[in-house]
Structure 1
Amino acid sequence: MTTASGTTEVSREPEGAREQAGFDEIHILWISEGMSCDGDTVSMTASGQPAIEDIVLGLIPGLPKAHLYNKVLSPSLGGEDFLVPFRAAAAGELSPFILVIEGSIPNQNIIEGDGYWTSFGNDLKTGEPLTLNWWIDRLAPKAWAVVAAGTCATYGGIHAMAGNPTGSMGLADYLGWDFRSQGALPIVNVPGCPIQPENFMETLTWLLYHAAGSAPPPPLDEMLRPQWLFGKTVHEGCDRAAYYEQADFAKDYNSPKCQVKVGCWGPVVNCNVPKRGWMGGLGGCPNVGGICIGCTMPGFPDTFMPFMDEPTGGSLSSSLIRPYGAFIRRMRAITSMAVNKEPKWRHNRPELTSGYDPHWRA
């Protein structure tokens, strides 16, 4: 129920009945004050299937009415005007809502009482900055669903690499991998540096259909990623994969061939970008000549550095496939010569040599 102040009160219906009926209205509280560059928000705006505008304007049948609060997309002037729904949710006066966190979570404990790493608004009584950790501690337990947008929020990303002074981590590291939201959902991780636009919006749409009571919870893998998006490797969807099978490897970045020897980690990275593209089905790292550096993976970036070196195991696997690949290439070349010829009966001479037999004639 919406009050005169514009906040939505918690439903008084029995818990089971409400869960079965679903929600007619839901809020999306997006905080990008983690250790990040806001690139995930910017990338999300490029989605077209669906577009964030379609959800906010209610153009997709069956979804609950969604109210989005994101600083980049907010029509407010910022400041306290923008913070109203966040403060209401923290006080338990706004429900239901989906909490989206962008950016890695710094370890505030290592500097407790001696400053802060990142903040979002100020304490109304003391004027002191409110840390990202303060908001997560109060919002996550009240949220119907919690979503980590981008690799920084999912697994820590760049800010969590070896030698960092912040102790940064992913949202599941902070809340616990066994965390469950008010909607009985685990954290939903949508990695990417930044997120692939449709990957995030497709996941959000599934969550909203689930909130409406018309879809089951989204299936997640052991790293809490949507299975249907991250269940295959880059290599399995790459249009250069056939070159790997033939042991035909690129020696520089201008080549259209398999880039494993020049630093591509595609065979072991869970990501669908070669299949999906980046914007409007176009682009995507290997599709445009770039190597896969594993930005959707929990070990990024440390496990995949240095980026331009041949991946661990790449030399062995490429060596093992060379004899097979050389044989296959040769056999295919012979077959190609055979199938690239026209049959001998296609000519402009007066006799018919196609084998036509008018057997029905006397």
Structure 2
Amino acid sequence: MASVEFAPNQAKTEAITAHVLWMTVGLSCEGDSVAMTSATNPSLEDIITGAIPGMPKVVVHNQVIAFDYGDDYAQAWYDAQEGKLDPFVLVIEGSLGNEKINGDGHWTGFHYDKETGQPITTNEWIDRLAPKAAAVVAIGTCATYGGIPAMKNNPTGAMGVRDYLGWNWKSKAGIPIVNIPGCPAQPDNMTEMLMYLVFALAGMGPVPELDEAGRPTHLFGRTAHESCNRAAFYESGNFATEYGSDHRCLVKLGCKGPVVKCNVPLRGWQSGVGGCPNVGGICMACTMPGFPDKYMPFMEEATNAKISSFAAKYTYGAVLRWGRKQSIKRTYDIEPEWRHNRAELTTGYTKTW
């Protein structure tokens, strides 16, 4: 999917205040909002305090970090509905239950209708606000693709935001729904995309390119395996056989990294540190549209991985291990012979005068 750039008549080069309406009231644990507070590059504080040079003012409405509560907190949603907050980014955390099958109740909601006293469902808020939003962002695997609440046999009919609005849906600014998957999403992935979108809304940059699954390609363009510091052990057929044993490849313990688009092994979790395989945990594929159903059981080696790991271990991997060991031993682990303390120069140096 090509990147989206604003035409000249869409650019908002004048000073703006970008509001972020972050809905945490889907079917989820609010783990993405909690994780976001540990972002460092950029940090949430950098964004909302204006510490990033040239960045427009940003106001984030998120109940995990809000001081306001009740009617005062909810007022921003009504203001956005009435067109008083423009531009605003609608961020959705948590999967969306199918309210068409809710019987006499509802799955999720936020605030209440002052005339009827009944809750306003999360889905209704999306219906009200999505058409007026400059951009819509789905945060976390629940919001992007349904996640854990959307597993087979779930009673809610849970789905992701693109499933609800449509995979070809675009905002009034022409921006497709941006998916930032993860369970929870990597903190810097969230704040970085928020920063890019605010700059784009101000006409100061393009919207990053998205892949077929709605993910930013610069964040999710490589597999976890390609970014993993254990990856070289795979090609040489050197695999861990139990958890916590060593630093070898974890694919035989159930790691799904070779087929998973995720940058956590490269970016780390917080301040460049951590990340599932970096600290000995398998990749469970939480950034993928098929998670979790297509990757269970999590802690068993996948069938395709069994074939490739067998080949790596007993064919070319063994040859690679032997050849590299010999190269290191006979060539690269030995200093050149001209480095010595004898009374002669053997470097091959020739005077030129």
Matched to 2:50, the amino acid is G
Q: Which residue of 1 aligns with 2:199?
A: 209
1:164 aligns with 2:158: no
Structure scoring higher RCO (CA < 8 A, sep ≥ 6) equals: 2
1:43 aligns with 2:51: no
Q: Residue 256 of structure 1 is aligned with which of 247, 267, 270?
A: 247
Matched to 1:241, the amino acid is A
Matched to 2:146, the amino acid is G
Which structure is larger by alpha-carbon Rg, 1 or 2?
A: 1
Change (3 A) 1:335 1:88: same
Q: Which residue of 1 aligns with 2:344?
A: 352
Q: Residue 107 of structure 2 is aligned with which of 117, 134, 151?
A: 117
Q: Which residue of 1 aligns with 2:329?
A: 337
| Matched residues, number | 344
Q: Aligned to 2:138, what secondary structure does the other structure show?
A: strand
Q: Aligned to 1:21, what secondary structure does the other structure show?
A: coil
Asked if structure 1 preserves the Cα contact closer than 8 Å seen for 2:41 and 2:191, the reply is yes
Distance 2:23 2:207 in 1: 23
Q: Aligned to 1:256, what secondary structure does the other structure show?
A: coil
1:35-114 alignment to 2 at 5 Å?
A: 35-76=27-68, 78-112=69-103, 114=104
1:32 aligns with 2:35: no
Distance 1:340 1:175 in 2: 59
Q: Which residue of 2 aligns with 1:137?
A: 127
Unaligned runs of 5+ in 1: 1-14
Distance 1:162 1:358 in 2: 76
Q: Which residue of 1 aligns with 2:4?
A: none
Distance 2:230 2:219 in 1: 20
Change (3 A) 1:91 1:249: same
Q: Deviations over 1:227-246 (max 9, x none)?
A: 10000000111010110010
Distance 2:59 2:200 in 1: 16
Q: Deviations over 1:239-260 (max 9, x none)?
A: 1011001001110112210011
Q: Which residue of 2 aligns with 1:10?
A: none
1:242-281 alignment to 2 at 5 Å?
A: 242-254=232-244, 255-281=246-272
- TM norm structure 2: 0.93
Q: Residue 317 of structure 2 is aligned with which of 300, 322, 325?
A: 325
Distance 2:340 2:62 in 1: 70
Asked if structure 1 preserves the Cα contact closer than 8 Å seen for 2:32 and 2:140, the reply is yes
Q: Which residue of 2 aligns with 1:295?
A: 286
Q: Deviations over 1:176-200 (max 9, x none)?
A: 0111111111100000100101111
Matched to 2:334, the amino acid is K
Asked if structure 2 preserves the Cα contact closer than 8 Å seen for 1:23 and 1:211, the reply is no
Matched to 2:286, the amino acid is C
Q: Which residue of 2 aligns with 1:9?
A: none
Q: Aligned to 2:303, what secondary structure does the other structure show?
A: coil
Change (3 A) 1:357 1:146: closer
Q: Aligned to 1:198, what secondary structure does the other structure show?
A: helix
